[in-house]
Structure 1
């Protein structure tokens, strides 16, 4: 097939909401036409995006991210956890499998970056680097006859936040999940200080149209009302999608109070606590058991756990213990 047989289309999202942008990505994937290649450019604000089969608790410091007003998102494709902010530009190539050509797609990104006088190159299986530093990680999704390839372009990402949110929690987490490989990353601004998102977009568009040619439709800038994405948005933002598909795992929290030590073990299934056991040398064993029982069938989110404990009826002597437990659990939200 020649380039002239391919219809190219450019889509830009004006939203910085990862759930919306991933919903739009899937919508484009479901509706891409035969012989059409779509380049979709989008940005997320303060977001950790995890791969489809990853264990969210293991990959992300969820409490810290939530405390800072960030969001967790789970994408359809596999691969590792990534951090997005407005210093990062995301791209997605959407097409039928017949048009899928990874080398050609990566060449669009590579040539776009080179237009800004940065000497980028291929590295490993599908990473793009400058002077050994990875500025673009890629992931892929195939379903029946359709495909997409998406990735990041780090322009001026907050690397401190990236390393903060993607750190494994201090608590012991035993999991069936697989660790992501964290590579050395670098912003393109390290190599070209005057680079901007707008310049990068312009260079990518130029590169895309040069490499694919074809009959390009006018670019489409998508706002919240362009397509009906409500059902997709609800799925991408749902507890079940974000947390419920993680494998079963145990979380253990340990600490010591003046009134005794606490070793809280939680077994989760589909994001809900199915077993809670507290080992403690506190004097009031009944209260400790009551706390453990209260956590059964509770979603594993600190606010929910705290609400369950706050609902317990206690003797005046027990108020201090429950208050300490609540304060301790709230501190876990920022760990």
Structure 2
């Protein structure tokens, strides 16, 4: 049953600049109202986008990317690094948080490719796959009363550039049971040659309205001053690369929910500063964990005890805490 009081809006960005498109995405996140949901479609040219808490130097061959005229961008959400070009279509569902329904949002994507005769399914923690190969990676972000869920759709992406720019750890490749990144991803055009970005975009709009109703009016972009301020943030060195401090100790591991690299600076045996690099989807929670470690002695048992004291957390975060505590209690430094 479609919600007749729901307001649906659609916007396709004319820009191919990742910093502008991410600024616009955050602007729309701050603009969405009660009982509203937007479908925002966008494309970036020759870009690597990393997750909120990732280390750019470990995820991307930054110098190779920039020497070829590409851009590095960092998004608000978690998850791993992705390559964008004009053979890839990005989608973002931006909504009143009360409307957030991952299965319904995914249905829009899955319904769209089904029209092309492709039976897709949601797989793992954030992928949409066909025949075991990924064509869409997904992530989400919540702020106040708003939320977004965004992802990629590989239609005709240049996989040679993808593999030349992205650096994927051997541990991640082994955990996926594959021998390369290219063996794990697929362009939809290779399955159905009739698929184009334009057709995919039109179908997404159609299935979006089919699932949510409403008239899908075009979003009006009014506050260009705010978008310019957000653009300045997304294009800045500080946001994209950040500080890369030298740590006294670095602990790393891979879990089902993502990888983690914990860097600690010490003074007199106590943690003076802490930084977590991770592709976990729980971006804010990772930052909370990092800040809670400051002031603790460098004692993994005591760090585990501190983490174990977290309460009032949902099941996803509880799993993260349990995994981290078990790892730290059984690790030696």
TM-score (norm 1): 0.67
Gap runs ≥5 in structure 2: 249-264, 266-333
Q: Distance in 1 between matches of 2:80 and 2:199?
A: 27
Contact 1:53 1:245 in 2 (8 A): no
**Corresponding residue of 1:13:** 13
Q: Describe the SS at the equivalent of 1:5.
A: coil
Distance 1:50 1:21, change over 3 A: same
Q: Distance in 2 between matches of 1:57 and 1:45?
A: 20
Q: Describe the SS at the equivalent of 1:117.
A: coil
Contact 2:29 2:95 in 1 (8 A): yes
Q: Distance in 2 between matches of 1:59 and 1:249?
A: 19
Residues 221-240 of structure 1 aligned to structure 2 (within 5 Å) = 227-228=224-225, 229-240=227-238
**Corresponding residue of 1:329:** none
TM-score (norm 2): 0.67
**Corresponding residue of 1:219:** 218
Distance 1:46 1:87, change over 3 A: same
Give the drift of 1:168: 5.9
Gap runs ≥5 in structure 1: 170-178, 251-268, 270-335
Q: How many residues align?
A: 240
Q: Distance in 2 between matches of 1:135 and 1:142?
A: 24
Q: Describe the SS at the equivalent of 2:48.
A: strand
4+ residue stretches of structure 1 with deviation over 4 A?
Answer: 179-183, 245-250
Q: Distance in 1 between matches of 2:116 and 2:84?
A: 22
Q: Distance in 2 between matches of 1:245 and 1:30?
A: 27
Contact 2:23 2:234 in 1 (8 A): yes
Give the drift of 1:218: 2.2
**Corresponding residue of 2:102:** 102
Q: Distance in 2 between matches of 1:217 and 1:92?
A: 14
Q: Over residues 41-85 of structure 1, what are the superposed CA-to-partner deviations in whole Å (9 max), with x where a residue is unaligned?
A: 000000000000000000000000001000000000011000000
User: For the pair shown, which has the larger CA radius of gyration, 1 or 2?
Assistant: 1
CA RMSD of aligned residues (A): 2.5
Q: Describe the SS at the equivalent of 2:49.
A: strand
Distance 1:11 1:190, change over 3 A: same
Distance 1:245 1:4, change over 3 A: farther
Q: Distance in 2 between matches of 1:221 and 1:13?
A: 11
Residues 261-300 of structure 1 aligned to structure 2 (within 5 Å) = none
Residues 126-165 of structure 1 aligned to structure 2 (within 5 Å) = 126-165=126-165
Distance 1:97 1:221, change over 3 A: closer
Q: Distance in 2 between matches of 1:30 and 1:20?
A: 15
Q: Describe the SS at the equivalent of 2:199.
A: helix
Does 116-125 or 7-16 show the bigger shift? 116-125
Give the drift of 1:221: 8.1
Distance 1:232 1:90, change over 3 A: same
Residues 1-335 of structure 1 aligned to structure 2 (within 5 Å) = 3-167=3-167, 184-213=184-213, 215-220=214-219, 227-228=224-225, 229-244=227-242, 248=246
Contact 1:43 1:88 in 2 (8 A): yes
Q: Distance in 2 between matches of 1:43 and 1:199?
A: 14
